[in-house]
């Protein structure tokens, strides 16, 4: 199990997510962001707009995704 924060995944807060794979942690982060945006959280809404800007450039989005995946892969596994 590895841990990353919302902010480490491109979000706006220090909420921690724990998962075995990058895909799992990315999904948790996405669901958290959607929940926070639904609650009208300005910081998360701003982070979403920044991500949407990246999506206009597939190469930039792919590079961002791979960078986050590599960061996840380099994290130590917890004992849980």
Q: What is the pLDDT of residues 21-53, one digit of tens each?
A: 999 999 999 999 999 999 999 999 999 898 888
* Residue 80 placed within a domain: no
The pLDDT confidence band at residue 79, using thresholds 50, 70 and 90, is: low
What 3-state DSSP class applies to 34?
Answer: helix
**How many structural domains comprise the chain?**
1
What 3-state DSSP class applies to 4?
Answer: strand
Residue entry with tokens 């994290």: 75
- Gap between the Cα atoms of 4 and 23, Å rounded: 12
* Arithmetic mean of pLDDT over the chain: 92
* Residue 11 placed within a domain: yes
Answer whether 11's CB lies under 8 Å from 32's CB: yes
Query: How high is the pLDDT of residue 54?
Result: 80
Integer-rounded Cα radius of gyration of the chain? 13
Structural domain boundaries, residue 7: 2-74
| Position 61 pLDDT exceeds 70 | yes
* Residue 10 placed within a domain: yes
* Residue 27 placed within a domain: yes
Mean pLDDT within 2-28: 96
Could you say which DSSP state residue 6 is in?
T
* Residue 59 placed within a domain: yes
């Amino acid at each position: 199990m590895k841990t990353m924060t919302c902010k480490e995944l491109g979000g706006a807060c220090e909420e921690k997510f724990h998962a075995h794979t990058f895909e799992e942690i990315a999904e948790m982060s996405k669901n958290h962001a959607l929940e926070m945006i639904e609650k009208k959280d300005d910081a998360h809404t701003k982070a979403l707009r920044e991500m949407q800007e990246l999506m206009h450039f597939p190469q930039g989005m792919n590079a961002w995704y791979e960078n986050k995946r590599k960061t996840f892969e380099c994290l130590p596994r917890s004992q849980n």
